A and B are shown apart, each in its own frame.
Chain A
Amino acid sequence: MSTLDYSITDLIPQRPPMMMIDTLVHADEKSAGGKLIIKESNIFCHGGFLQEAGMVEFIAQTAAAQAGYLQIEAGKTISLGFIGAVKNLIVNSLPAVNSEIESEIIIDSELLGYTIITGRVRQEGKVLAECEMRIKLG
């Protein structure tokens, strides 16, 4: 099945108000992408803009959704994931309320029980934020 055949709540354990991804657009073993429309009620919004923490969470939940999708497709139970560390975070600008942003994650490697990813948030092709993450699957 395609990622679009699943509701995002099938793929991640987070629930409102902590859900920070609307749709997993694509996913494979090495990468994934998601979409999020920023609502005014989003808990990471302030002053009309999604803040850094919201974009980091968007990246993390894209990775969680990718892992969830691959686990479901493999007939496994979805496991919880935890952010071990966020490294080299660069924030170029903040997206406005009522706009849509896209995420891209790339699995760099799996080391010492952690999944190392590079994540980016884009809007209309422009990179708004990027970082590396170390994620531990429970």
Chain B
Amino acid sequence: MTRENIEKTINGLLIEEFEIEENAITPGAHLKNDLGLESLDFVDIAVIVQKEFGLTLKGEEMTSIRTLQNLYDYIFNCIQKK
């Protein structure tokens, strides 16, 4: 799984599931403040991440994920460790 594939999957999820405008999706976008994601949306993200990447996101780890770049990096690093 390449970093590009991770970004493509996550960006597709944001566009399809949350109806976020494509031009709002930038690596520096803040998940809550810029993309408007709420707590239950993070559960949806966790479900997709588990289905697509086989990773189980943990609450304490999610607290450090604030931007899309953080999310891409977190998933990439977890996959590298597997």
Interface residues of A (CB under 8 A from B): 84-85, 87, 108-109, 111-114, 116, 132, 134
Contacts and interface: CB of A to CB of B under 8 A. Distances in A.
B49 to A, nearest CB: 9
Interface residues of B, number: 12
Interface of B: 40, 42-44, 46-47, 50, 56-59, 62
Central interface residue in B42, B43, B50, B58, by most chain A CB within 10 Å: B43
Contacts of B44: 85, 87, 134
Nearest to B47: A116
A112 B50 contact: no
Contacts of B40: 84-85, 134
A81 B58 CA distance: 21
Contact of B56 (A85, A111, A114): A111
Nearest to B50: A109
Contacts of B58: 112
